[in-house]
Amino acid sequence: MPLPVLPGGHGIAGISGRQRAGQSCRRGNAAAARRNAWFRHLRHGKPLEEEATLAVHRVAATRTFSFGGQAGRRMQPPGRRSACLSIRSGDDMTIHALGRARRGLSALLACLLIPLLCAPSARAQSASGWTLVFHDEFDDSSLDTGKWNTTYMWGGEGARTLSGNDELQVYLDDQFEFRGDGVLRIRAERKDTVWHDKTYRYASGLITTYQKFARQKGYFEMRARLPSGKGLWPAFWMLLDRPSWPPEIDIMEVLGQAPSTVYMSKHSNADGDQTTLAGIFDTSAAFHVYGLEWSDAYLTWYLDGLPVARTARSSDMDEPMQLLVNLAVGGHWPGAPDASTVFPAYLEVDYVRAWRRDSPAAAVPGMTNGKTFVVGNLHTGMALRPEGAGAGNNVRVVQNAYNDTWASQRWVVRPVGGGDYAIVNSYTGKALRPRDGAAGDGVDIVQYDYNAAWDSQKWNLVRAGNGHFAIINKYTGKALRPKGAGTADGAGIVQETYRDTWNSQKWKIVVP
């Protein structure tokens, strides 16, 4: 489903900021040795066992891998064992090496590149340029009442339901399940309950941080798997930390009968209601991360680390706001459940976190998630980077000698559905695309604010042998390549018709 621009906003946002002036290559033998090893790694397609191990330990001590040599042609899975791989997230899941069975590229990349979306996450991590100011990983056997309430801030009937929405549930204190796996399950079920002389046919759960945690500005995220079924209405949202409305920020709302559509909204007395929606993935099939960055000027929404919508901050959003997570049943928007709705239904929450920004140039924690990659060319041995580390739209993408101090050479590779990926710079927050979405050979590759509706920002990663990939645009069908196969530092990157004999169209995607 196309993603409309928020009324009053201006498209999809990236991360603002400028890279530190005067970036330059490190001098000295150690740096030269690293660059030479990097070049050999890309050029010959052999594993850098020592460097790979050190790099992985810098990211997460429990994650190990080895890139093995493989023979392959375009769109052909390997006929023999692929690169050895074992990924572990806490004690939740291990993905083992692919065997001889013919498996699609998506399975390999899900193991190699993408954070584990289907299992509960690891514990809260630090993020450069940010301070974690609130989090609950739900590791206990009961709800932490030092962090959460189970009623709204309003008294009377409004403490346990929103009758103004015609909701059919009452929120009770016993609708939470903990099974020892670090996941909070908010349970909605058919259960007659009398509340303020009215019988409610459904019971569910609500948690809020009212008078326990509130924040103005920062980054807020929840990792969760949502229920499906007509009449179910899960939400992750924000209200003022006092009994007043609006303003309101809806980080995520989903209607159970349409679990692949995520609604992101703000409500304000200053400039009215604004809503956008994104049809990206089935929110009931796996865990996903829903995030919001609240800055001085903008609200920016993120899905699995990708910026998908932005609008101006309303002038009445000028004080701290509380966090709320709930699973409503019925109401004038989702309608009532029907015979197809399965009960009990669960909103499964892995964690809720809030961060304070300390550095204006830092990428949001939910974007990098501790997993960034360097994209290096087999033919030239150089790595992708926005030209001059420029942060604007339509900045040309070039190749430069790898420099391990340059954040602008780090990229986030994220699934966007249909086996496609967005490739987003972790410094600028902008995604690769052919200039103006043009389809011809030789068109420059640039960075641009990510837009989930643009196929020109979606890429297929095709195995090209020895652990390398061709990076092929979904919209144009053309592959990334240094212009004219040029080896110069600063040569531009273009798209060309794919030829599997050209090493200049083969790339290695590695943990730096």
Q: Is there a catalytic annotation at residue 253?
A: yes
Domain coordinates of the chain in residue numbers?
29-115+371-510, 130-357
The pLDDT of residue 225 is 97
Q: Is 395 a residue whose pLDDT tops 90?
A: yes
Pick the CATH number of 29-115+371-510 from 3.40.50.460, 2.30.30.60, 1.10.10.10, 2.80.10.50: 2.80.10.50
Q: Which ranges of 369-459 does DSSP label H, i.e. alpha helix? A: none
Give 54-75 pLDDT, tens digit per residue.
Answer: 222 222 222 222 222 222 222 2
Name residue 148's beta-bridge partners: none
Q: Which of 157, 189, 248, 387 is catalytic?
A: 248
CB atoms within 10 A of CB 39: 16
Confidence of residue 284 (pLDDT cuts 50, 70, 90): very high
Closest CA to 407 of 433, 378, 428: 428
Q: Is there a catalytic annotation at residue 49?
A: no
Using DSSP, state whether 49 is helix, strand or coil.
Answer: helix
Give 133-189 pLDDT, tens digit per residue.
Answer: 999 999 999 999 999 999 999 988 899 999 899 999 999 999 999 999 999 999 999
User: How is domain 130-357 classified at the architecture level of CATH?
Assistant: Sandwich (2.60)
Q: Which of 137, 221, 253, 348 is catalytic?
A: 253
- For 113-148, b/e burial (b = at least 16 CB within 10 A) is bbbbbebbbbeeeebebbeeebbbbbeeeebeeebb
Name residue 324's beta-bridge partners: 208, 237
Distance CA 466, CA 106 (A): 17
The pLDDT of residue 376 is 94
- Helix pair 49-59, 29-44: axis angle to 10 deg: 110
Look-up of token digits 């997570």: 325
